[in-house]
Amino acid sequence: MNFADLRNIADAVLYENYVLYPYRASATKNNHPWPFGVIAPREYCEKSRSETWEMQTECLIQPDGATISDSDSLEVVIRFLQLQPGTQQGWDETTERETTISDVCFREMLCDKKTRAFEFEDGISGVALLWLEDCGPCLKLGVRIENLTPWPHGVEMEHSEAMRHSLLGTHTFLGLHGAQFLSMSDPPAEFKTAAALCSNLYTWPVLAGTPGTRNVMLSSPIILPDYPSLAPKSGGEYCRSNEIDELLAVRTMTLTEEDS
């Protein structure tokens, strides 16, 4: 599955609200970033009763054939940011993380939930749960992400420390082989009841890729329309390109501490 067309849009979601203007460490809002799509350690959430340790996507799909075949399968890519402490910039920088779950057979998901564990260095581990349910005229696909990172600390541990063990800006690519997604924002009339019964927690799935195609979906913590796209005036990857960094650096140099 080629998710290349989604990555510029997904990167905009990934970095949304992570660092706010003015882009400098002395700004209070950048000392305590509050990005979207946070999945914190379950034990921390249960002790502090803040944040959430789970994210769940449910959406509707239709097999291409009259019945499910052995080749019908799902591919999932989970993407997020992980904080990296102790940088020279004066704030926590991030590393992009990604885990891919390939070729999950529809038949297997209909029989039982599939569990796929993931683990990253610097202390993040969790599971992805995948399932299918027969809803009569269609199938309901579920993808649930849980942060099961051990949390030996008490509630007195600062929120910022918990964020270093959290998935930030979490979003999911979903790709189908042998089936098509249905729009969750505007489902066909005969599927509206089934769509209303889908449970989406802290994320929302939309059709993505080339308009008119229905084999790719982006599940985002920010509500987007079907087939989201970058504005025509967005000439590049502004979260990375040197040109925008230089422009922001010059602009920031004109500000005083009071401006932040």
pLDDT, tens only, 34-72 = 678 999 999 999 888 878 999 999 999 999 887 888 899
**Strands, E assignment, the chain:** 54-63, 73-84, 93-105, 114-120, 124-134, 139-147, 168-177, 179-181, 204-207, 216-220
DSSP 39: B
Q: Is 46 helix (H, G, I), strand (E, B) or coil?
A: helix
List 128's β-bridge partners, or say none.
116, 145
pLDDT of residue 190: 94
Q: Is there a cis peptide before residue 187, judged by omega within 30 degrees of 0?
A: no
Q: What percent of the chain has pLDDT over 70?
A: 78
The pLDDT of residue 242 is: 46
Domain of residue 75 covers: 4-259
How far apart, in Å, do the first and last CA atoms of the chain sit?
43
- Structure confidence at residue 250 (pLDDT): 65
Residue 148 confidence (pLDDT): 96
What are the backbone angles phi and psi of residue 171, rounded to the nearest 5°? Answer: -145, 165
At residue 243, the pLDDT reads: 46
pLDDT of residue 260: 57
The number of CA neighbours under 13 Å toward the Cβ of 234 is 11
Sign, CA torsion 159/163/166/168: positive
Which segments in the chain show pLDDT lower than 50?
A: 240-243
Burial letters 94-111, b for 16+ CB under 10 A, else e: beebebebeebbbeebee
Retrieve residue 134's tokens.
């027969």
> Structural domain tally of the chain?
1
Q: What is the pLDDT of residue 181?
A: 97
